[in-house]
Amino acid sequence: MKLTPETVIRLTGGEWLKMPDADICQTSIRQISIDSRKLCPGDLFWALKGEIFDGHDFVAEALDKGALAAVVSRHVNFGITQGRLICVEDTLEGLQMLAASWRDQHPCPIVAVTGSCGKTTTKELIAGILSQKFKCLSTEGNMNNHIGVPLTLLRLRDYHEAGVLELGMNHQGEIAKLTAMIKPKIGAITNIGKAHIGFLGSINGIVEAKAELLDGMGPDGLAVLNRDDPFYNILAARSKNGIISLGESEDADIRIDKIEIFPQEGRTDVSFKAGGEVFSFSMPVLGRFIAYNLAMAVAIAIQLGCGRSEIEAGIRGFIPSPGRMHHHVVNDIHILDDSYNANPESVHLALKTLIECKGTGRSLAILGDMLELGDQSECLHRQLGQWLGYKRKVDFLIAFGPQAKMMAQEAIKSGFPAQKVWSMDDHEAVVGLADSLLHPKDWALIKGSRQMSLDKVSKRLIDLIGSRNSVKNNVKNGVKNDVKNGVKRDMHVQREVP
């Protein structure tokens, strides 16, 4: 089935503002675009209203750039009265309606993955395996919300044989709507944590929101759940379908019996039994969490008919996503870039990995604000600070942002040496301080919510440490010249304290 402007009209109840040439009505749409800057000729431009920009303001630009047509709301006056325009009641609802109907035309099995931590890595592992056997559609980037999921579904084509989609949420009812749109055959929940608790009010609210995936599964669906999660029993009771569980628990259907981290090699070895076979893998990522992501992916792949050779080939091709526990070694200094996002559970997991990996070296944690925690934000940041203070396993702490500053204050109150804690609000200052602290054999963790942009710190710090050899040579040459000229230099680093 072709996706054409005429198909869009039929499935959304839209209408042409002015009937275009007949060939346009039946022309295949290259893809649906919501960003006029990235639009290519042959795309269908979909005008969505966002918090900052309104796509209706860019309709003329999109048409000028070669858009096949544009979908607009009939209730918005944007100054264009003719052209290749399809009018619908509401463009967001129209997009979601089209995606649901388009999914109905493509009955391949789809896996839906949600959870507070690890859903992207799990999705990537599943997609890597399924792609060895099937033409597989998968979520790209962070397209996991009420806009990204329908756009992903609209990439379905007749040749697709399977799909794996990531579901994000920050409000009640969001996953229910996405599940109804996707109609997944398998629903996987990695874990339950406090991410987005500011919108959902409590941990119970988060459980309810994630369980919407299980509520919306069809009668022939399958739930794949983390047996070690504290909320496993609640989730299992909500499932109307069969369940496969995984974890280190003796009660797990797929029992993880080995997780061994090799810091210097940058790998984690994992083994478990699934489908009557023992699987052992060396994963190019540091952290115990990868064992759960991996076991979940293998369990799902087996359910969809993948064999051992396909599973192993898919895992061999796995590359960690940028900003998700990426391990960099620069001039014998280890940097764990986990800057993509943060919530209380993921920060604790990352810190435990840092502590386990540092060996005889020293450890530096650069931690930014954890956002979307609502009125529990101060409490959760201070709890993290208490944990750092009581454990005293991290050697240096740099807090970035106003919420993280409260974490730093609480860490000092709880026993973290005050002279080893800094609170900062400038990326370059963080980079400069971190560079002055880190010596060969040391380890640094960089983590914070996406809006804190700590990926900039990671990149800059890696570049700065990588340039040390050339700097040393320049300094040596400079000292020689200064000695000749009778000049003495006082080199120091300025440090900011809380």
Give the pLDDT confidence of 41-53 residue by residue, as tens digits.
999 999 999 888 8
CA distance 203 to 2: 44
CA distance 147 to 142: 11
Q: 277 and 137: one domain?
A: yes
Average pLDDT on 270-288 reads 95
- DSSP conformation letters of 61-112: HHHHTT-SEEEEETT---S--SSSEEEES-HHHHHHHHHHHHHHT----EEE
Residue 170 pLDDT greater than 90, yes or no: no
Comparing C-alpha atoms, which of 171, 59, 153 is closest to residue 98?
153
488 lies in some domain: no
- Per the structure, how many domains does the chain have? 3
Q: 135 and 262: one domain?
A: yes
**H or E stretch including 338?**
strand 333-338
- 177, 96 in Cβ contact below 8 A? yes
Q: 272 and 134: one domain?
A: yes
| pLDDT, averaged across the chain | 91
CA distance 250 to 213: 26
482 lies in some domain: no
* pLDDT of res. 193: 86
Q: 352 and 273: one domain?
A: no
Q: 366 and 420: one domain?
A: yes
476 lies in some domain: no
Confidence of residue 24 (pLDDT cuts 50, 70, 90): confident
265: CATH: 3.40.1190.10
* pLDDT of res. 82: 64
According to DSSP, the residues that pair with 186 across neighbouring strands are 111, 222
Comparing C-alpha atoms, which of 11, 343, 33 is closest to residue 199?
343
CA distance 225 to 115: 10
299 lies in some domain: yes
Average pLDDT on 175-181 reads 97
- DSSP conformation letters of 142-180: T--STTHHHHHHTT--TT--EEEEE---SSTTHHHHHHH
Write down which residue in 316, 344, 362 finishes a domain: 316
Q: 42 and 154: one domain?
A: no
Confidence of residue 79 (pLDDT cuts 50, 70, 90): low
Residue 338 pLDDT greater than 60, yes or no: yes
User: Which of 68-82, 310-324, 409-423 comes out lowest in average pLDDT?
Assistant: 68-82
Q: 124 and 262: one domain?
A: yes
Average pLDDT on 472-480 reads 45
52 lies in some domain: yes
Angle, vertex CA 240, rays to CA 237 and CA 243, nearest 5: 75
398 phi/psi in degrees, rounded to 5: -115, 120
Q: 349 and 455: one domain?
A: yes
194 lies in some domain: yes
Residue 456 pLDDT greater than 50, yes or no: yes
Token pair of 315 as six digits:
């895992």
Write down which residue in 255, 290, 316 finishes a domain: 316
**H or E stretch including 465?**
helix 455-466
Q: 333 and 259: one domain?
A: no
98 lies in some domain: no
Q: Considering the entire predicted model, what is its pTM?
A: 0.90
* pLDDT of res. 256: 97
The three-class DSSP label of residue 278 is strand
Q: 353 and 459: one domain?
A: yes
442: CATH: 3.90.190.20
* pLDDT of res. 141: 87
| Residue 73 domain boundaries | 5-93
From the CB of residue 19, how many other CB atoms can be counted at a distance below 10 Å? 9
Residue 481 pLDDT greater than 60, yes or no: no
- 169, 372 in Cβ contact below 8 A? no
Write down which residue in 93, 124, 150 finishes a domain: 93
Confidence of residue 484 (pLDDT cuts 50, 70, 90): very low
* pLDDT of res. 494: 33
The three-class DSSP label of residue 271 is strand
Average pLDDT on 139-166 reads 96
346 lies in some domain: yes
- 431, 464 in Cβ contact below 8 A? yes
CA distance 355 to 342: 18
Q: 89 and 164: one domain?
A: no
Q: 54 and 153: one domain?
A: no
* pLDDT of res. 492: 29
